[in-house]
Amino acid sequence: MKPASSDDIFALAPVIPVVVLEDVETAVPLARALVAGGLPTIEVTLRTEAALPAIERIAAEVPDAAVGAGTVTTPEQAQAAANAGSAFLVSPGCTDRLQGALHDTGLPYLPGVATASEAMAMLERGVRALKFFPAEAAGGRTYLKSLSGPLPQARFCPTGGITLATAPDYLALPNVGCVGGTWLTPADAIATGDWGRIKTLAREAAALRPTT
Task: Sort strands 109-110 and 89-90 into parallel, antiparallel or unpaired.
Answer: parallel
How many of the other CB atoms lie within 10 Å of CB of 97? 10
- Nearest CA-CA partner of 111 in 160, 47, 96, 85: 96
> Which of 22, 56, 131, 199 is flagged as catalytic?
131
Q: Which of 2, 22, 25, 43 is catalytic?
A: 43
DSSP string of 49-80, one letter each residue: TTHHHHHHHHHHH-TT-EEEEE---SHHHHHH
Residue 176 has, within 13 A of its CA and on its CB side, a CA count of: 30
**Does the annotation count 131 as an active-site position?**
yes
Tell me how crowded residue 54 is: count the other CB atoms within 10 A of its CB. 28
At CA 37, angle to CA 136 and CA 180, rounded to 5? 20
49 is catalytic: no
The residues annotated as belonging to the active site are 43, 131
